[in-house]
Structure 1
Amino acid sequence: MQHTLVMTGASRGIGRVAAEHILRRSPDTHLLLVARGSSGARLAAELSGHTVSHVPADVGSLESVRSAATGIRDRLDRGELPPLRGFVGNAGTQYTDALTESLDGFEATFAVNVLANHLFVRLLQDRFAVPARIVITASDTHFGDLRHNLGMVPGPAWKSPDLLARTGAFPRPHTAAAGRTAYSTSKLAAIHLVHEYARRLPAGIDAVAYNPGFVPGTGLARNAGPVTRFAMRRILPVMTLTPFAIGRRAAGRYLADIVLGTTPAPTGSYVDRSRVARSSEESYDPRREHELWEAAERFTAAYAAGADALSDDVLSGSPRWDRTAPADSGEHDS
């Protein structure tokens, strides 16, 4: 049966590869690309031969996200799109400091990697046709150890969400180290929210976090200096020949596997490349997850105003899975 899949971050890197796999392996998918400027139209043209459309949006602007999500809701309501069965929040960013503000006045990393996805989920949640799946791209940088970060990215430094959402939350905020700390912390926040979505969303709407591992050669370092960009493009890709990194084609294929259900993953789970695994011990904290949910609701409330809201009993729903035990107790890949 034909269905709609909304996807951000499909214009390059693992998202582009995943989009190609999804369309080839699931011909009933209407892939709705959320992309900035003309890149959506260009990508839709490049993926001709499949059912692809696009909606313009800058995920660094919550007003732009609101406009895109509202447009998608309207198209679904008018029957211009088949039933909505999925959302893939693959867009992400990393800055060379922790001082960059989004258009809405939030710290830019937090705005893109956390708040944009949250607003999309909240504005689309009552338009999903079950079964549906939400996939949010996370990162193993949230572990904060040498084994997962290879010493290249500082681990997360959790603070109150009200601090994380503002610039200057980390020591020496003008440095690249602070920017990378903002990145790893935002990816920890993304996992926290996936756990909260699993508690709150109605049965049949699953939420999963996906860790692609270290994927050199993507556009993530586009805001870095010339030396770092050169290393990411020309030197670090050699690491894909080792267990410490993965190529974008494999990472994109794994993402498609999760979206399509080829990789079984219960709601609230963390998929490390090709299998369900356990995220960091720090990532399992119901008190922190609830606090982050409440803060994300406050930060996005003005942009969600006017959209149909879920009833209070749904929003306060109890957990539907046991997060005290890992879904897979096996070791993570490096």
Structure 2
Amino acid sequence: MQHTIVMTGASRGIGRVAARHILRRSPDTHLLVIARGSSGARLTGELGTDGHAVSHVSADLGSLDSVRSAATGIRDRLASGELPPLRGFVGNAGAQYTNALTEGPGGFEATFAVNVLANHLLVRLLQDRFTAPARIVITTSDTHFGDVRHNMGMVPGPAWRSPDVLARPGAFPEPGTTAAGRTAYSTSKLATLYLVHEYARRLPAGIDAVAHNPGFVPGTGLARDAGPLSRFAMRRILPVMTLTPFATSRRVAGRHLADVALGTLPAPTGSYVDRDRVDRSSEESYDPRRESELWEAVERFTAAYRAGADTAPEDAAGRLAPADRTTAERPDGRR
């Protein structure tokens, strides 16, 4: 049966590879890509060959106004029947900056805005348009472990703070440094895991939420805002590491992402998928107090952008109605 998958981050890197895999392996998919400016039209033309159904909507993921506009357009197209039923959302776009001072529209720190708030606003504005069974996939990173084994010390580990602090520029020591920018990145990826756990608790049965870690993938464009030396290393030197177990090529990582998005890789709701298998994320990523605190904060940050949208309300316990799942199990059996 024809269905729609909405995807961010499909214009380059592993997202581009995953998009091609999704269309080739699931010919009934209408892939709707969210991309900035004219890149969406170009991407639609490039992916929409061989009869594949591809369309786009323009959005700057750093602007919640722009994200709301894109989501509203998608909702309208789904309601009118222009798009087939919504069965998937892949939040693959990510941002990393050379400092922790970059401020986007609305005053939010840019890393947090793109990696956390944009995904959350899209999920919340689209959640009542999903047709079960459906799957939400959010790309995370093994930098959230914060140890040498998982990222060879290239990225500082997360430094959790109150979400009200994390959402604003200057949350970390020496905020003008590259180290602070990378800390903002790893911390935002820890936040994505907390939200996936909350989605697993709160979304209606039949709408699953999964976090996917592609591993270290050189040459994806994530370091495009880094200095010349770092960009050179990412393009010319670090790709050699894909010949070792320490890194994954774009081709392989994109295939894994498509497997998760299409559900060909089984993963219970709330799961952490490490490359191509369900595994435990870091011990720090299982913290119900932080998860609840973050949920309350991102709901507050996005409330004005959700106002007026015809979305399903929450019940008194904070679950998204209609919801049967009061205590969603995670893969490790925690609730």
Q: Distance in 2 between matches of 1:165 and 1:253?
A: 32
8 A Cα contact 1:4 1:83, kept in partner: yes
CA drift at 1:273? 0.2
8 A Cα contact 1:201 1:315, kept in partner: no
Give the match for residue 21 of structure 1: 21
8 A Cα contact 2:270 2:330, kept in partner: no
Structure 1: segments with no counterpart, 5+ residues: 327-334
Give the match for residue 39 of structure 1: 39
CA drift at 1:325? 3.4
Q: Distance in 1 between matches of 2:225 and 2:64?
A: 20
Q: Distance in 2 between matches of 1:100 and 1:12?
A: 23
- Secondary structure of the residue aligned to 1:303 is helix
Please state if 1:90 is matched with 2:98: no
Amino acid at match of 1:21: H
Kindly report which structure 2 residues correspond to 1:34-183, keeping only aligned pairs within 5 A, or say none: 34-47=34-47, 48-49=49-50, 50-183=52-185
Give the match for residue 11 of structure 1: 11
8 A Cα contact 1:133 1:208, kept in partner: yes
Q: Distance in 2 between matches of 1:320 and 1:195?
A: 8
Q: Distance in 1 between matches of 2:331 and 2:216?
A: 26
8 A Cα contact 2:85 2:130, kept in partner: yes
CA drift at 1:193? 0.1
Q: Matched residues, percent identical?
A: 79
Q: Distance in 2 between matches of 1:322 and 1:94?
A: 28
CA drift at 1:212? 0.2
Identify the match of residue 234 of structure 2 among 212, 232, 235.
232
CA drift at 1:53? 0.3
Amino acid at match of 1:108: A
8 A Cα contact 1:199 1:319, kept in partner: yes
Q: Distance in 1 between matches of 2:217 and 2:230?
A: 14
Q: Distance in 2 between matches of 1:322 and 1:39?
A: 37
- Size of the aligned set, in residue pairs, is 327
8 A Cα contact 2:271 2:330, kept in partner: no
CA drift at 1:18? 0.1
8 A Cα contact 2:197 2:330, kept in partner: no
Give the match for residue 332 of structure 1: none
Give the match for residue 210 of structure 1: 212
Give the match for residue 333 of structure 2: 325
8 A Cα contact 1:284 1:323, kept in partner: no
8 A Cα contact 2:135 2:209, kept in partner: yes
Runs of 4+ with >6 A deviation:
none
Query: Which deviates further from its counterpart, 308-317 or 213-222?
Result: 308-317
Amino acid at match of 2:69: S
Give the TM-score taking structure 1 as reference length.
0.96
Query: Which deviates further from its counterpart, 270-279 or 308-317?
Result: 308-317
The alignment yields a C-alpha RMSD, in angstroms, of: 1.3
CA drift at 1:323? 5.9
Give the match for residue 196 of structure 1: 198
